[in-house]
Amino acid sequence: MKILVCWPPHVPSYFNAGHHLPVFSIAAYLRAQGHDVDALDAGALNVSWKEFGDQLYRGQYELVVLVNDFDTVEGIRRGADYAKSLLPEVTVLTVGRLSNQNPVFFQTLDLDAVARGGDYEAAVEETIGWINAGRPAEPDLAGVATRTGATWHAPTRRGKWLPPDQWVLPDVLDVPYRHYENLYRRDENKFCGIPERRELVVPVARGCPVGCEFCDVPPMQGLRERRLSIERTVDYIRAAFAEHPFEYVAFYAPTFTLDKRWVRQLCSTLIAEPRRYPWKCATTMFHLDEDIVRQMGAAGCVRISVGVETFEDEAAEELPRLKQSARNRFEQLVRWCTDSGIELNCFLIVGLPGTTPEGTRRAMHEITAAGARVRPTLYTPYHQMRADMTEREISAFNRQLFVDPAEIRAAGLDPMEFLALLFKGDDYVTPATDRVGQVAELSRTAP
């Protein structure tokens, strides 16, 4: 089957290459099944809608897979409109984080199928089976809603989660890494990458048992973690660095150090490699200890990102127990990271219920005074999304603007004070850029 898997044209509010990587993981998976697949990140490539139309018309695709996210609502609607206008016989499917959160909203768009659960690759495979069966009006599909005529049919079974040995890692020559590097160039944007350095993203795990109410991972990927083998992980890194000028690795996992034994084995393997690979990861403070931080630093880790969320006790009571007492854990962790030459990157939720602008401002000062990096994100109540919302209303859930500023005012707080903390910027200069070069230099000086 001739297939296009794409991220539609859009202007990002926030950029994380790991969020875009499903475009290329899905494409690689489908190619392994024998399909003819094009992969396109039209957002990062700054593709115009005319160029997107050219791609559709010239490709003559039978299936177009639009990858959705909290930032791409308008792009999904327009992408579907272009596909239906230029390819009247095409089937249009959307998969992604937002359709897992609010699938019925997407049934208001000119789509034929909406992934509602399970891994994206499995949802696409279910849709292909439906197409090959002649798009029956009463399909028996796992995790995918389908439309025949004006009628939508809910999935009959829960979406499938694939075991790690069935994942297919992206072809690095597909991924526009040079453009991703440009998006990371201004560190004051507080995007996830390291400025002036070429990043290889390695998706090593799916699923998380932590259960933060503001996180979409558990309902989308499951409470049980699935993880790649160390052999596949390191083989992919070696091969990728051999064919592209990467400078560091971003391990993409909901909670990277959830399986500490796996992390220790990975560190031992990386230390034994003749080439040193600088790398970064994201996890929780609870899933770190002094010994593992030290081993990670010795293995080339240059940045660890953790969810501090808040230092205000009243708000912390609403977080999972392992994310409470954040200040005490932060003080330990910043010391361990400093001793190991690792930058600590702290996710802080601005506007979290129970917090105040002054308390958030104080937490930001404490973090930067300790030498760590603050990555602020606006609290976004995803649980308030409804299927009957307009495109504009859904677009407000972008983690940068309040969905309803009146709620903040009703609590006696000024939303502008919170927004100032998000947009005012700071003078922090990340040491990770230099650290990447220092770790890589060890490859050239090793005997």
Per-position DSSP letters for 358-375, written without gaps between them: HHHHHHHHHHHHTTPEEE
Mean pLDDT confidence for 333-350: 96
Give residue 373's pLDDT band: very low, low, confident or very high (50, 70, 90). very high
pLDDT recorded at residue 447:
45
Mean pLDDT confidence for 270-279: 96
Q: Are 249 and 200 in contact (CB under 8 A)?
A: yes
In 149-209, DSSP assigns E strands to 151-153, 199-203, 205-206
Rounded to a whole number, what is the distance in angstroms from the first to the last CA of the chain? 51
Give residue 443's pLDDT band: very low, low, confident or very high (50, 70, 90). confident
Cβ–Cβ contacts within 10 Å for residue 416, how many?
A: 11
pLDDT recorded at residue 327:
79
Residue 183's Cα: distance from chain center in Å? 15
Cβ–Cβ contacts within 10 Å for residue 165, how many?
A: 9
Q: Are 206 and 100 in contact (CB under 8 A)?
A: no
Give residue 382's pLDDT band: very low, low, confident or very high (50, 70, 90). confident
Q: Whats the size of the chain, residue-wise?
A: 447
pLDDT recorded at residue 273:
96
More confident residue, 220 or 50: 50
pLDDT higher than 50, residue 392: yes
Mean pLDDT confidence for 204-212: 78
**Token pair 């003749």: residue:** 274
Average pLDDT over the chain, rounded to an integer: 93
pLDDT higher than 60, residue 322: no
pLDDT higher than 60, residue 121: yes
Mean pLDDT confidence for 172-183: 96
Single pTM value for the model: 0.94
| Rounded distance between C-alpha atoms, residue 115 and residue 113, angstroms | 7
**Token pair 């002094």: residue:** 290
CA dihedral 411, 415, 418, 421 (to 10 degrees): -170
pLDDT recorded at residue 313:
77
Mean pLDDT confidence for 272-287: 95
Domains in the chain, CATH or no CATH each: 2-153 (3.40.50.2300), 184-445 (3.20.20.70)
**158: its two tokens:** 């829960």
Q: In the chain, pLDDT over 70 holds for what percent of residues?
A: 94
| Rounded distance between C-alpha atoms, residue 138 and residue 142, angstroms | 13
